[in-house]
């Protein structure tokens, strides 16, 4: 037992010696390392200290900052602004500096900021005190330039500003799906904003500040390159006529979708592109204006997302549909080109035609049939049976060849994102061939259809449509200039001449009679396409029209998705908008009746004046007026100065405003007393009449939109 205890003591002593030895060596290692590091620090300080100090100071004092470029504008063909970026500022605070000031100076800063950013002094003080150690804290983003200018004059210590830009859309919903929007992530989305983002966004500049010659701080600036301006082929006036007319019929018939395109069939330039449902790019993620605040707020997040996606979509290029009878002129043109029929041929329609034995016959829309008719009459009557007899003589390969020539199944290459190309069958059996003849079982976009139809009326050429005419940088250099592009000849010029004249009968006597415009020669084709599933019995109604017959200068397509049959709404809408568009485009009337001097008035110039002065002059000349646009300042007129018009004629006054966020709509004041009218308009408008009695006339007329505080001139009667 004694021996065992002795061994344990020896082992314990040996272990302690080993531990002490290890501690000694570890301590020695750390002391040596610290000594070496101290030696190096002293050596660097003595031999390279000045150089290192300069480098540290240079890094501390240098600043590598970004200068944001101004996003380029989007303008219509006459350089009227549709989208633009205006200068704004981020208001930046230096809480550490502010909290180091005397309390009275802090209070002055808080008061000055409070007046500018519409926040209480207490809120701003709390904001600063919550970030005591920060040298950079954003108090307000995108403050208006005039607000910041007033703050700069106050020279508030610890307050500085960074330039930024706010995207403005002064015309609101104007062609919104075509334009797209600029989102919160500073990206262009949908339409022109997305497709031409690389041109519009510009290139950022930089600020370089550095220490030189040991003491002097210099700053080098590489300026930003502002974005280029996108010039569209869209015409503001034409677009306004289209939107006004389409919105009227949408309100009446409530379609699920609607679209309209106005184009030059000889160049491919798009004058107007309308799509419904719509949105306002200023508030692109909210549809309160369109649906009503109550309806919008009642929707679930999923429903809101679905509604927004529908509103952002451009129906003209992103929704394909079965065109129905608007395709029939294209079929007839192909058949004439292939000589499978002749112009003197007659067709007999008994209301149905059997395509394949044992399969139900295809019916004509006129159940009792059209009887015997010529080719021109068959087009005017939109006869299904005649089309079936025509296509029966064409091979499937030939029909598909012409579908390709017309551009179906292919994108038009208009230069907009998300364009669909529609669907065609790779091979056609007898049933498919027959249904193609009446515009069913294949799909296309409205843009594909109006482009293909243009080849039928322009001499046979398939053109590439386009909406951008030029791209111009801030130095006024042209980066891109569009020109008409012929893709191919779809049909012969001789066939085109025949169809141009035949389609006049559709409007004069046939299914498109609602599109007849006094004083102009118009041709066109109606369309009614049944949607699938067929048992739902829902239809897409459309009208394709052009004018004048002797030399088509403008073509238009109107589409209403799910409205009642038999209304004639597409042709009526075409007539209403074209009644204004044709004279605006200076397309001459078909004939002129001479008038005596006492029956005409010479139109004065209204440029650079307002609607109030213009109404006085027109009244004196015995002429009426129509105001188009928003605001009171006149930017153009039709007809132009010096033109003679019959007394009682209407002169069109085109107006615009830059104060789009400060607009009110003129109410109907007729039948009210002056006191009642003043109560109705409140302080937003001024009534320029003090007489008693009931208001019998007002200017501007009810419904026109003007800037707040504008005048309403009224006439009263006792």
CATH number reported for the structural domain that contains residue 662 in this entry:
3.30.10.20
Same structural domain, 560 and 419: yes
Element housing 210 (H / E): strand 205-212
What are the residues whose beta carbons fall under 8 Å from the beta carbon of 523, sequence distance 6 or more?
A: 457, 500, 501, 502, 503, 504, 506, 507, 545, 546, 547, 549, 552
**pLDDT band per the 50, 70, 90 thresholds, residue 199:** very high
Q: What does the pLDDT read at residue 57? A: 47
Assigned domain for 706 exists: yes
Q: Which has the closest alpha carbon to 258: 175, 191, 297, 314?
A: 314
Same structural domain, 552 and 602: no
The residue with greater pLDDT, 136 or 207, is 136
Assigned domain for 297 exists: no
Element housing 176 (H / E): helix 176-179
Q: What does the pLDDT read at residue 97? A: 85
Same structural domain, 432 and 508: yes
Same structural domain, 557 and 669: no
Average pLDDT of 109-136? 84
Q: Which has the closest alpha carbon to 314: 280, 276, 270, 262?
A: 276
Q: Decide if 687 contacts 670 (C-beta within 8 A).
A: no
The residue with greater pLDDT, 160 or 434, is 434
d(CA 390, CA 387): 5
The residue with greater pLDDT, 143 or 582, is 582
Assigned domain for 497 exists: yes
Is residue 124's pLDDT more than 50? yes
Average pLDDT of 430-453? 96
Assigned domain for 41 exists: no
What does pLDDT average to over the chain? 87
Same structural domain, 504 and 564: yes
Assigned domain for 262 exists: no
What are the residues whose beta carbons fall under 8 Å from the beta carbon of 685, sequence distance 6 or more?
A: 664, 666, 706, 708, 709, 710, 711, 712
Least confident residue range of 313-327, 469-483, 608-622 = 608-622
Is residue 488's pLDDT more than 90? yes
CATH code of the domain covering residue 143: 3.90.1310.10
Same structural domain, 563 and 613: no
Q: What does the pLDDT read at residue 219? A: 58
Matching residue, tokens 């004629």: 649
Q: What does the pLDDT read at residue 218? A: 55
Q: What is the pTM of this model?
A: 0.77
Give, in degrees to the nearest 5, the angle at Cα 345 between 341 and 350: 110
Assigned domain for 246 exists: no
d(CA 645, CA 651): 9
d(CA 26, CA 22): 6
Same structural domain, 84 and 217: yes
Query: How many domains does one find in the chain?
Result: 3
Average pLDDT of 86-99? 85
Q: What is the DSSP letter of 21?
A: H
Same structural domain, 552 and 633: no
> How do 711-717 and 686-687 pair as beta strands?
parallel
CA 343 to chain centroid: 44
pLDDT tens for 348-403 read 999 999 988 888 899 998 889 999 999 999 999 999 999 999 999 999 999 999 99
Given 584, 609, 630, which residue is the final one in a domain? 584
Tokens of 353: 């035609």
**pLDDT band per the 50, 70, 90 thresholds, residue 604:** confident
In three-state secondary structure terms, 121 is helix
Is residue 285's pLDDT more than 70? yes
CATH code of the domain covering residue 484: 3.40.710.10
Matching residue, tokens 């306004």: 240
Q: What is the DSSP letter of 534?
A: G
Q: What does the pLDDT read at residue 5? A: 45
Average pLDDT of 274-298? 93
Q: What is the DSSP letter of 670?
A: T
Give, in degrees to the nearest 5, the angle at Cα 64 between 60 and 69: 155
d(CA 295, CA 254): 16
Q: What does the pLDDT read at residue 108? A: 87
Is residue 405's pLDDT more than 90? yes
Average pLDDT of 23-37? 74
Same structural domain, 421 and 363: yes
Average pLDDT of 338-353? 91
Percentage of the chain beyond pLDDT 90 is 51
Assigned domain for 402 exists: yes
Same structural domain, 603 and 689: yes
d(CA 179, CA 467): 10
Same structural domain, 131 and 152: yes
Given 584, 617, 647, which residue is the final one in a domain? 584
Q: Decide if 229 contacts 471 (C-beta within 8 A).
A: yes
Average pLDDT of 335-341? 93
Given 194, 212, 232, which residue is the final one in a domain? 232
Same structural domain, 510 and 418: yes
Is residue 88's pLDDT more than 50? yes
d(CA 682, CA 685): 7
Burial degree of 79 (CB within 10 A; 0-12, 13-18, 19+): exposed
Q: Tell me which residue range forms the domain holding 196.
A: 66-232
Assigned domain for 273 exists: no
Residue 702 has a CB neighbour count (10 Å cut-off) of 12
Average pLDDT of 113-137? 84
E-strand ranges in 335-477 read: 346-349, 352-353, 362-363, 371-374, 461-463, 468-472
């Amino acid at each position: 037992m004694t021996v065992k205890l002795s061994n344990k003591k020896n082992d314990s002593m040996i272990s302690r010696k080993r531990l002490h030895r290890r501690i000694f060596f570890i301590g020695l290692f750390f002391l040596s390392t610290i000594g070496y590091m101290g030696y190096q620090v002293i050596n660097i300080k003595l031999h390279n200290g000045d150089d290192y100090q300069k480098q540290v100071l240079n890094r501390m004092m240098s600043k590598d900052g970004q200068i944001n470029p101004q996003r380029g504008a989007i303008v219509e063909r006459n350089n009227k602004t549709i989208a633009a970026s205006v200068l704004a500022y981020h208001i930046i605070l230096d809480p550490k500096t502010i909290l180091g000031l005397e309390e009275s100076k802090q209070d002055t800063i808080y008061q000055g900021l409070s007046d500018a950013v519409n926040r209480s002094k207490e809120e701003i003080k709390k904001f600063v005190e919550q970030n005591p150690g920060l040298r950079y804290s954003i108090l307000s983003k995108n403050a208006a330039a005039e607000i910041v200018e007033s703050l700069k004059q106050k020279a508030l210590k610890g307050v500085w500003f960074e330039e930024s830009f706010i995207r403005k859309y002064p015309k609101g919903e104007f062609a919104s799906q075509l334009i797209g929007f600029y989102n919160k992530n500073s990206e262009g989305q949908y339409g022109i904003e997305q497709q031409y983002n690389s041109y519009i966004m510009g290139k950022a500049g930089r600020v370089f500040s550095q220490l030189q010659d040991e003491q002097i701080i210099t700053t080098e600036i590489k300026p930003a390159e502002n974005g280029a301006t996108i010039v569209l082929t869209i015409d503001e006036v034409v677009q306004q006529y289209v939107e006004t007319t389409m919105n009227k019929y949408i309100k009446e018939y409530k379609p699920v979708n609607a679209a309209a395109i106005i184009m030059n069939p000889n160049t491919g330039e798009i004058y107007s592109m309308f799509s419904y449902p719509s949105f306002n790019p200023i508030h692109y993620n909210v549809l309160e204006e369109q649906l009503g605040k109550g309806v919008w707020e009642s929707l679930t997040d999923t429903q809101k997302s679905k509604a927004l996606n529908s509103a952002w979509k451009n129906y003209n290029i992103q929704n394909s549909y079965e065109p129905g009878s608007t395709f029939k002129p294209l079929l007839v043109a192909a058949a004439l080109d292939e000589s499978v029929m002749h112009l003197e041929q007659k067709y007999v329609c008994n209301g149905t035609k059997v395509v394949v034995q044992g399969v139900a016959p295809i019916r004509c829309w006129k159940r009792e049939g059209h009887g015997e008719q010529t080719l021109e009459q068959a087009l005017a009557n939109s006869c299904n049976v005649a089309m079936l007899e025509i296509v029966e003589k064409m091979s499937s390969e030939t029909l598909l060849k012409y579908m390709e020539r017309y551009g179906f199944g292919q994108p038009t290459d208009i230069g907009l994102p998300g364009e669909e190309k529609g669907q065609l069958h790779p091979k056609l059996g007898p049933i498919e061939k027959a249904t193609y003849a009446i515009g069913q079982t294949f799909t296309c976009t409205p843009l594909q259809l109006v482009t293909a139809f243009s080849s039928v009326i322009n001499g046979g050429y398939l053109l590439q449509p386009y909406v951008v005419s030029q791209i111009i940088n801030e130095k006024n250099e042209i980066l891109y200039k569009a020109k008409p592009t012929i893709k191919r000849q779809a049909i012969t010029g001789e066939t085109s001449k025949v169809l141009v004249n035949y389609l006049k009968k559709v409007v004069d006597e046939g299914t498109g009679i609602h599109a007849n415009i006094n004083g102009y020669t118009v041709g066109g084709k109606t369309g009614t396409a049944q949607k699938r599933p067929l048992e739902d019995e829902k239809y897409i109604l459309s009208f394709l029209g052009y004018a004048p017959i002797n030399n088509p200068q403008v073509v238009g397509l109107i589409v209403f998705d799910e409205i009642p049959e038999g209304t004639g709404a597409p042709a009526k809408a075409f007539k209403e908008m074209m009644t204004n568009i044709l004279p605006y485009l200076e397309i001459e009337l078909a004939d002129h009746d001479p008038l005596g001097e006492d029956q005409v008035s010479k139109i004065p110039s209204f440029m650079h004046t307002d609607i109030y002065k213009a109404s006085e002059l027109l009244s004196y000349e015995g002429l009426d007026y129509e105001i188009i646009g928003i605001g009171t300042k006149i930017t153009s007129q039709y007809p132009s100065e010096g033109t003679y018009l019959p007394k009682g004629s209407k002169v069109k006054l085109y107006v615009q405003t830059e104060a789009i966020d400060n607009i009110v709509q003129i109410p109907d004041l007729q039948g009210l007393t002056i006191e009642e009218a003043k109560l109705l308009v409140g302080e937003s408008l001024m009534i320029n009449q003090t007489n008693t009695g009931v208001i019998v006339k007002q200017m501007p007329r009810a419904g026109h939109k003007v800037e707040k505080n504008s005048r309403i001139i009224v006439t009263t009667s006792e």
